[in-house]
Amino acid sequence: MANPSIFLVPILALFFVSANARVFPTRTIPLDDSSPFNNFTFVCDSSRYANLGLDISQYRFCDSSLSFSERAKDLVDRMTLTEKVAQLGHRAAGVARIGLPPYNWWSEALHGVSNVGPGTRFDDVVPGATSFPTVITTAASFNEALWKTIGEAVSTEARAMYNLGRAGLTYWSPNINVVRDPRWGRTLETPGEDPLVVGKYASNYVRGLQDVQGTENTKDLYSRPLKVSACCKHYAAYDVDNWLGVDRYHFDARVTEQDMLETFLKPFEMCVKEGDVSSVMCSYNRVNGIPTCADPVLLKDTIRGNWDLHGYIVSDCDSIEVFVDDAHFLQDTNEDAVAQTLKAGLDLDCGIFYPNYTEGSVRQGKVGVKDIDRSLNYLYIVLMRLGFFDGNRNFQSLGKQDICSDEHIELATDAARQGIVLLKNDNSTLPLDPKHVKTVAVVGPHANATSAMIGNYAGVPCRLKSPLDGVAEFAKVNYQMGCENVACKNDTFIFPAMDAAKNSDATVIAVGIDLSVEAESLDRVDLLLPGYQTQLIQQVAAVSKGPVILLILSAGGIDISFAKSDPNIEAILWAGYPGEEGGRAIAELIFGKYSPGGRLPVTWYEADYVNQLPMTSMPLRPVGSLGYPGRTYKFYDGPVVYPFGYGLSYTSFIRTLTSAQRSVAVDLSD
């Protein structure tokens, strides 16, 4: 059995951030983490209060016979203004004098427990967690049950890490922004371009993360227990990161009301209403001139009012500072910005703006204490639902044995199998028969891909199996890199790759892009393979002794029209970024152990498409008089390389209509 102790203080000391995260200046309010909380399993442990020299019976917020709302109110009412303000940032300071420990709200679990965000860490105790395929890949399965099952596995590992003092309970995932433009760098994090599919992914993944078995239909949703807390982000109309100098911190998305309701808001509405998510994160950008994190219509009226969110609203990190300093939305003081956002419905600041300026805003009469109390009540009710105060017996036995388990690794493999898309299979080239294909040339910049397969917002994987490793399980491999990396800046390594293809029974050419081309803060400028990759493909395919299989790793579509029409390339597979077991899944499909069934979750446009409209143009519908082509499969009917939903299988289906003659006797008598 795992040690059920939950270490509360070590969580607060985790300050690791991603390379893409904004740097936080030194906070002005010190954290008090001196109290010995780390030997107890939850806040309202009577022995813990005794150890602190406090009488637990005096604290109604520890009385489990009361409702969570009553308890949260009692907790908040006990705090001074200074103490309240110190809880409004993602590094909540706690209040030692009443036994409230600090808490770090920021953890991530986009496709596995991540070490992005200071609430989670990996070390000798927990060296890694299962890294599932990126969201765009699992979205290609169009399998709602799979999405929920992955969420259940991720939350089990998250809860186990919490028990081991290596993670929090609040995870700011998933990313459910619709892919409006094929150049968007964060396409890999999302479920694609269809708002209904994105919404279904959101509600199922969130249910997998949050639901506690047997309590899914609790009538009082403010008391419904949570396994972990999920967060749907980034709300709303966010899909420009950094394109030709236009970045997310300054971008103003000009959106029609129809597009907003039907496309950009729909997945979030489904996440709140169907998924009962416990948090929503607002984004950096403005929508029609107003920063999303300061817009009462988007936050208070829509999320809280119309959709009835049972949880809290959090900012993307430093969003308030961004719209004050960079976007210059409010030409007033920092205290004015606090008042604007709190009144708009923003409960928690990922950053230090609230902790630094809220007390001054209150003392200047710009915002009321009641606005702070309202937000804190939402926050602490979520922590109570998580068992942070009372513990949760359902999960106390989870430990190291539940992280990187064989079951979860197999699930990651199966998710990759289901997400891989067969784009071309001339003459039924695939699957290869290992009885006849004894040697395989595996060439290209992704032939030996490892970390590239897990994408971004990933933690430390349990293990990594490259395409090269996978193919080696079925045949002898002749490996040549073909290019040093995806940039493929010269043709130096093409000729050795050609030699390998000449001397093998079949050839796999593994190409594509990675986080150096598409990522957070990095949008693409074209839809082409980088550098000499096209030449590598064409020259190797022209001399290959056996059939050629083109394998593409990417999130967004790539114009591979040349390969689609090249008779020397018999088969094409798209694998997205297939996670830690991606190489195994790819090889199993190539050699027929499984049949591909994935379908593209985004349109693959021809390269010229991006010359017809800037990435910053938001309208979805075409405007013929202006030559504006429209966006996504719903509104664009021009030429494509592959349409949304496209995918082949090894099985041929014949559809026929059948009819049968039937006679029906009807008694017409009285």
**473-495 pLDDT, tens digit each:** 999 999 999 999 999 999 999 99
Q: Are strands 242-243 and 506-512 parallel, antiparallel or unpaired?
A: unpaired
Give yes or no for a cis peptide into 90 (omega within 30° of 0).
Answer: no
Q: How many alpha carbons lie under 13 Å from residue 325 in its C-beta half-sphere? A: 6
Q: Above 90 in pLDDT, residue 664?
A: no
What is the mean predicted confidence (pLDDT) over 167-184? 99
pLDDT tens-digit map of 421-465:
999 999 999 999 999 999 999 999 999 999 999 999 999 999 999
To the nearest whole percent, how much of the chain has pLDDT over 70?
Answer: 91
At 622 the three-state DSSP class reads coil
* CB-based contacts of 668, cutoff 8 Å, min separation 6: none
What end-to-end distance do the CA atoms of the chain give, in Å? Answer: 74
Active site residues: 316
- Domains annotated for the chain, with CATH where assigned, are 65-401 (3.20.20.300), 420-607 (3.40.50.1700)
> Residue 183 in contact with residue 523, Cβ under 8 Å?
yes
Q: What is the pLDDT of residues 306-350, one digit of tens each?
A: 999 999 999 999 999 999 987 677 767 999 999 999 999 999 999
What pLDDT is recorded for position 656?
A: 52
Q: How far is CA 33 from the centre of its chain?
A: 31
When pLDDT is averaged across residues 246-257 and rounded to a whole number, the result is 97
Q: How far apart (Å, rounded) are the C-alpha atoms in residues 567 and 565?
A: 6
Read off the pLDDT band of 651 (50, 70, 90).
Answer: confident
Residue 142 CA to residue 269 CA, distance in Å, equals 20
Instruction: Please give the average per-residue pLDDT across 297-303, as a whole number.
Output: 99
pLDDT tens for each residue of 499-536: 999 999 999 999 999 999 999 999 999 999 999 999 99
Token pair 């928690």 in the structure block, residue: 348
Which tens digits make up the pLDDT trace of 28-45?
A: 222 233 333 344 679 999
pLDDT tens, residue by residue, 193-219:
999 999 999 999 999 999 999 887 887
The three-class DSSP label of residue 648 is strand
CB 246 within 8 A of CB 252: no
Per-residue pLDDT, 258: 98
Long-range CB pairs of 286-289 (<8 Å, 24+ gap) are: 286/251, 286/252, 286/253, 286/323, 286/327, 286/329, 287/236, 287/237, 287/252, 287/253, 287/255, 287/260, 288/252, 288/253, 288/254, 288/255, 289/252
| Residue 655 reports pLDDT greater than 90 | no
Percent of the chain with pLDDT over 90: 88
What mean pLDDT is predicted for residues 8-22?
Answer: 32
Residue 62 dihedral angles phi and psi, to the nearest 5°: -100, 5
**Span 178-182, average pLDDT:** 99
The predicted pLDDT at position 653 comes to 58
Q: Is the pLDDT of residue 10 over 50?
A: no
Find where tokens 């309240």 sit.
Answer: 84
Render pLDDT for 81-99 as a digit per residue (tens, 0 to 9): 999 999 999 999 999 999 9
pLDDT over 80 at 657, yes or no: no
Furthest CA-CA distance within the chain: 92
- Band the pLDDT of 124: cuts 50, 70, 90: very high
Confidence of residue 2 (pLDDT cuts 50, 70, 90): very low
Closest of 445, 513, 595 to residue 184, by C-alpha:
513
Question: Where does 212-323 have alpha helices with state H?
Answer: 257-259, 266-273, 319-321
Query: What does the pLDDT look like over 584-613, one tens digit per residue?
Result: 999 999 999 999 999 999 999 999 999 999
User: For residue 62, is pLDDT > 90?
Assistant: yes
| pLDDT score, position 661 | 52
**Residue 299 backbone class (left: φ over 0; alpha: ψ -120 to 50; beta: rest):** alpha
Asked if 189 contacts 136 with a C-beta cutoff of 8 angstroms, the reply is yes
Confidence bin at 547 (pLDDT 50/70/90): very high
Q: What is the DSSP string of 172-186?
A: ---B-----STT-TT
Mean pLDDT lowest among 116-120, 180-184, 416-420:
116-120
Count each helix (H run) and each strand (E run) in the chain, helices first: 20, 18
Mean pLDDT of 118-145: 98
Element (H, E) at 421: strand 421-425
Q: Which of 390-394, 493-497, 661-665 has the lowest mean pLDDT?
A: 661-665
Write down the pLDDT at residue 277: 99
Q: Write the Ramachandran bin of 371: left for phi over 0, alpha for psi from -120 to 50, otherwise beta.
A: alpha
Assign 558 to helix, strand or coil: coil
The alpha carbon of residue 467 and the mean position of all alpha carbons in its chain are separated, in whole angstroms, by: 24
> Which positions ≥6 away from 86 have C-beta within 8 Å?
29, 92, 93, 95, 355
